[in-house]
Amino acid sequence: MQEKIFITGGTGFLGSYITRMLVKRGFQVRAMKRATSHLDMLNDVKDQIEWVEGDILDVPFLEDAMEGIDKVYHAAAMVAFDPRDHKRMMKINQEGTANVVNVALHRKVKKLAFVSSIAAIGRSSQTPIVHEKTEWETSKINSQYAISKYLAEQEVWRGTAEGLPAVIINPSIIVGAGCWNDSSCKLFKQVDEGLKFYTTGATGFVDVRDVADILIKLMESNIENQRYILNADNITYFDFFQFLAKYLEKEPPNIKATSFLKGIVWRVEWLRSMITGSRPLITKETARSSSHSFQYKNEKIRNELDYHFRSLETSIQETAKVYQQSKIANKNYGVLAV
């Protein structure tokens, strides 16, 4: 009899791919959603999922949701760079993770898989090459999101010390088809609509399908209490946008966003958001982070699972095709085949 799985964040970008893969591989899946959650990304499999409506800040809900559960995938998180959202983000990411860990311990689940981020690994201008043993450093480079995920990881490590087997993944920027107005997916839409500016930094990228596949493989392995960086390629933002433009058949961004220009833009955006009450498109944090260059090592996961990542160019090419199909069908989302 297949194990029963509980997943938080199962309707999100990465979470929907994890959920889909679990269903297709025959697991019994119980997934958390909110009343406002969209199930578009899971339309074809949503009737094969046991849905429970709640919130990771609601401990009694989690107690009920994890009853009879063998393994837990914790993918729910809040990503925010607007200072107005920082307090709630910290609560959801740190306190919410503590709640999941505590209930998993109480329910004696067999294993927890936690979706973290490369942002949660120590980064500073003195450590441009990042691996699993890179130590966290207090730095201006660390966004409030990075701090919230770092603190969430500490809750998971606490859980392992108290007897909860767990694995943590730290994906780089995840590329794939999803809601074209959210996460990295919106970059496809921005380039399609004529994005003019590119930034000077560099970072890592990884396919959403590889992240979901690896997480499930880690959960089903005997590996416990380890963390893994998931990264396919390290490239500059300039080269990344060149790939996007190539496969969307658009002109690539050709104006370099200097520090001076970015400083003006985030301040204008801040003022606009104050006047309109909307969220800024660019913040001081995002402007600052886009100038830095980091490389992320992936040898640990490649060696331990003998895993071969899709190339970034392949990911972009396949995602661009789905984006074009979505555009023709007048849909604001797309899904890559798994």
pLDDT tens-digit series, residues 29-86:
999 999 889 899 999 999 999 999 999 999 999 999 999 999 999 999 988 777 788 8
DSSP calls for 44-84:
TTGGGSEEEE--TT-HHHHHHHTTT-SEEEE-------SGG
User: How much is the pLDDT for 268?
Assistant: 45
Query: Nearest Cα to 213, choosing from 33, 73, 29?
Result: 73
User: How much is the pLDDT for 212?
Assistant: 98
- What are 102's two structure tokens? 């505590």
d(CA 56, CA 31): 12
Which of 90-99, 178-187, 218-227, 255-264 is predicted least confidently? 255-264
- Strands 173-175 and 233-236, how do they pair? unpaired
User: How much is the pLDDT for 280?
Assistant: 52
- Identify the residue with better confidence: 302 or 140: 302
- What are 316's two structure tokens? 């972009």
Asked if the model's pLDDT at residue 287 lies above 80, the reply is: no
SS3 337: coil
User: How much is the pLDDT for 128?
Assistant: 80
Asked if the model's pLDDT at residue 25 lies above 90, the reply is: yes
d(CA 191, CA 330): 18
Strand partners, 256: 198
DSSP 8-state code for residue 162: T
Contact at 8 Å (CB) between 94 and 149? no
SS3 320: helix
pLDDT digits (tens, 9 = 90+) for 311-324: 999 999 999 999 99
User: Domain 4-176+205-232+295-309, CATH 3.40.50.720 — does that match?
Assistant: yes
- 247 phi/psi in degrees, rounded to 5: -85, -15
Q: What mean pLDDT is predicted for residues 274-281?
A: 53
Asked if the model's pLDDT at residue 164 lies above 70, the reply is: yes
Burial of 129 (0-12, 13-18, 19+ CB in 10 A): exposed
- What are 156's two structure tokens? 């998971």
Which of 192-201, 252-261, 289-298 is predicted least confidently? 252-261
Return the percentage of the chain with pLDDT > 70, whole number. Answer: 88
d(CA 156, CA 202): 29
Asked if the model's pLDDT at residue 23 lies above 80, the reply is: yes
The structure's pTM equals 0.91
Specify the residue for token string 């009450």.
277
